[in-house]
Amino acid sequence: MRLFCSHNFVYTHGHLYCSKCGKKTPGKPRKKIQIKKIGVVITLISLIGIVGFFFSNGVFEINEKNISDHFKNIPTNIPKEIQIPIQEKTKEITTNIYKQIDSIKKDTEIDKIISLIPKETPVQTYPNNCDHSYPDVCIPPYPPGLDCSKISYNNFKVLQPDPHGFDKDKDGIGCEK
């Protein structure tokens, strides 16, 4: 089987077979494809002939008078007796939709939950040399690593991550005694 073959496909037993490299591909022979193209062309020519026949015999007549007559029948605006009920119905539907939205807002638990959230949450600030994992005491950040024997605090609050490892049992309290 050659890598770069200019295929010479031959149709045999439902697939195309290259006589040079032996490649097989499913497909239709060229004759069937050509016959299908010829059928499409014949159909198009027939349709064009039929339409031309009707135009030449006056069945379809396109002229300025026919076009202007058709455009005269198209209404340019909606009559007042139809506009007023449509506007009233639109207002009624709109107000009903807004009433439903308001009732849904009142009934949802989301509004209750949002009302419980404080408007301003206090932001806790830390001195520059204190680790945020220990909010109640000021312990320098890791590295260097410290242990309970090297600091003077006991039973203080620890938040994760605990870089120094003061909270061995992960209960949130560091250097327990």
3-state secondary structure of 127: coil
Q: Distance between CA 26 and CA 129 in Å, rounded?
A: 74
Residue range(s) defining the domain that contains residue 9: 1-74
Angle, CA 133 vertex, CA 127 and CA 135 arms, to 5°: 55
Q: Does 11 lie in the same domain as 37? A: yes
- 65 and 100 assigned to the same domain: no
Clarify whether residues 47 and 61 are in a common domain. yes
| Model pLDDT for residues 53-71, shown as the tens digit of each residue | 777 766 666 667 766 776 6
CB 152 within 8 A of CB 174: no
70 and 84 within one domain: no
> What is the amino acid identity at position 94?
T
Round to whole Å and give the CA distance between 59 and 72. Answer: 22
Judge if 128 and 176 occupy the same domain: yes
CA distance 118 to 82: 53
Torsion over CA of 147, 152, 156 and 160, rounded to 10 degrees? -30
96 and 50 together in one domain:
no
Q: Are residues 67 and 8 in the same domain?
A: yes
- Residue pair 174/157 in contact by the 8 Å Cβ criterion: yes
Q: Are residues 130 and 109 in the same domain?
A: no
Question: Would you say 158 and 174 are in contact if contact means Cβ atoms under 8 Å apart?
Answer: yes
Asked if residue 98 and residue 45 are part of one domain, the reply reads no
Query: According to the model, what pLDDT value does residue 1 have?
Result: 47
Quick: pLDDT tens for 38-48: 888 888 888 88
pTM value is 0.29
